[in-house]
Amino acid sequence: MSDPSVPDLVEQGRTAARVGDIEDARRLLEQATRQMPDNIEAWLTLAGVVESLAEKQTCFKQVLALDPNHSEARAGLALIEQKLAAQVLETSSAGDSSGQDTGLAFCYRHPDVETGLRCNRCGKPICPRCARRTPVGFRCPDCIREQENKFYTGGNLDYLIAAAISFPLSLIAAALFTFLLGGLWFFWALLIGFFIAPAVAGFIAEVVRWGVRKRRSRYLGRVVAGCLILATLPFLLFSLLGGGGGWIAAGIFLVLGTTTVLARLR
């Protein structure tokens, strides 16, 4: 049986391509170009089934070598060369950008944490742990502190005034809680303490606020809370070592009083 002619191979290749059998189409058309290297239709059809741009370029060049005025081959070659040039440009751009800044940096507070997040006010790189969400975006703790400082009008003298007021008042309140409520039955001491402790601590906070003329300071609440703790601890330890029930009342005043003061003097 004789081999199929080149026109038959080209037609069979086109049919295989139409039904999606690209591999068989390529085999038939390559066979046609080997049997008749000067067959324009074989090269032109092969250009439509090969995969790479370089192979397509070769096919179109073969057609133009046989017929320099072939319009379809000219258009096809121009398109392929345009795509190849774009690929070279993309590869070059990727190589150039590999050494450039990718936008990642290390958090200014945690130098071992890489991050792409930056403060929208000062531009410092911040990690998620440092980022503070605001209505206008994420900001770093330093910018938040700088903004908060505008609302704090008190000075160091206010801390001394707060300590001078809160410590003696806390001593009196802790003594009353320990010795008066400590003598009550456990349930009543617990119940009364839960209601009275926040009220007494709130009173102390308001007296301090009046003493500093309502000026706000960053650590005012902490200073008053510290004084309350220092004033209450001796009574708490005394009750624990003495075996009385006053430690319950002192403990309630310590916990609820501290949280109330911190909430009132924020």
Q: How much of the chain, in percent, has pLDDT values that exceed 70? A: 88
CA distances to 16, 18, 33, 50 from 21, rounded to whole Å, are 5, 8, 19, 12
Per domain, the residue ranges of the chain are 6-97, 105-149, 156-264
DSSP category for residue 136: T
With H, G, I as helix, E, B as strand and everything else as coil, classify residue 115. Answer: strand
Q: Read off the pLDDT of residues 36-64 as tens digits, 9 standing for 90 and up.
A: 888 888 888 888 888 888 888 888 898 89
The CB density around residue 230, as the number of other CB atoms within 10 Å, is 15
Topology at the third CATH level for domain 6-97: 1.25.40
Nearest-angstrom CA–CA distance, 157 and 154: 8
Nearest-angstrom CA–CA distance, 33 and 25: 12
pTM of the full structure: 0.51
Is the Cβ–Cβ distance between 200 and 174 less than 8 Å?
A: no
Q: Read off the pLDDT of residues 72-119 as tens digits, 9 standing for 90 and up.
A: 888 888 888 877 777 766 665 555 444 444 456 888 888 888 887 888
Question: Pick the residue with more confidence: 4 or 36?
Answer: 36
